[in-house]
């Protein structure tokens, strides 16, 4: 949908006015400690998933079945295969 330069400038002016007139409320603020905990937990989960992926790759290279891998990661073998097969190939 093409926009004219005037429409783009008008939208920019509207956004600038909203920014300039913004008054934060307590509901808009996030607890820094809680955010830090969440960020840390997400990073740990990412590292754990990377370790699982490496372990699955090693297991497959050594002939471990998808069924056995699924048992260890808490899913069915088919679910494990669907989740990891393309990532360990």
Domain boundaries, the chain: 38-89
User: CA 83 to CA 77: how far, in whole Å?
Assistant: 10
List Cβ neighbours of 80 (8 Å cut-off, separation of 6 or more). Answer: 56, 66, 69, 70, 73
Is the model's pLDDT at 83 over the cut of 60?
A: yes
Return the pLDDT at 28: 80
Backbone angles phi, psi at 37, to 5 degrees: -65, -45
Q: At what angle do helices 66-73 and 77-88 cross, to 10 degrees?
A: 100
User: CA 89 to CA 63: how far, in whole Å?
Assistant: 13
Note the pLDDT tens digit of each residue in 56-68.
Answer: 999 999 999 999 9
């Amino acid at each position: 949908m093409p926009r004219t330069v005037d429409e783009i400038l008008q939208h920019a002016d509207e956004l600038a006015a909203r920014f300039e007139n913004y008054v934060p409320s307590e509901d808009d603020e996030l607890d820094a400690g809680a955010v830090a905990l969440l960020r840390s937990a997400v990073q740990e989960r990412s590292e754990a998933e990377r370790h699982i992926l490496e372990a699955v790759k090693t297991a497959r290279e050594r002939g471990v079945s998808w069924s056995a891998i699924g048992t260890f990661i808490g899913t069915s073998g088919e679910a494990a295969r669907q989740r990891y097969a393309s990532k360990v190939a």
